[in-house]
Structure 1
Amino acid sequence: MAGAVVSEGGEERRCIHLAYPRWSCHILYGRERVVKSVGWFSFFYLFLFGVFCILYHLFYFIFFFSRLLDLV
Structure 2
Amino acid sequence: MATITVNASRETGLFGRMGAAVSDFFAAVAEGRAMALRYDRLSHLTNSELARMGISREEIPQVVARGH
Q: Which has the higher contact order (CA 8 A, sep 6+)?
A: 2
Q: TM-score, normalised by structure 2?
A: 0.49
Between structures 1 and 2, the one with greater strand share: 1
Over alpha carbons, which structure has the higher Rg? 1
Structure 1 or 2: larger helix share? 2
- TM-score, normalised to structure 1, is 0.47
